[in-house]
Amino acid sequence: MEMQELEINISPSGEVKIEVKGAHGDSCLMITRDLENALGQVEDRQYKAEFYEQNEQNNQQWNQGT
């Protein structure tokens, strides 16, 4: 299992950006959930390629019956 890492940037205006590294599929949402809840409403979310690749792999496995 790859190590997961959070990169958190806070701008002078208070805008917070969180990037998850080393997470696949929707696990990034679980990793950041508590932090997002503590910070307030999420205004924008951008998914990296890893988010979609894992979901596609899960769909392929489900379709193959494994």
What range does the domain containing 25 cover?
5-40+48-64
Q: What one-letter code names the amino acid at 44?
A: D
Distances (CA, A) of 52 to 21, 26, 47, 66: 14, 8, 8, 19
Residue from 5, 6, 2 nearest 16 by CA? 6
Per-residue confidence band for 55, with pLDDT thresholds at 50, 70 and 90 = low
Tally of structural domains, the chain: 1
In this prediction the pTM is: 0.71
User: What average pLDDT does this structure show over 17-39?
Assistant: 93
**Alpha carbon of residue 65 to chain centroid:** 27
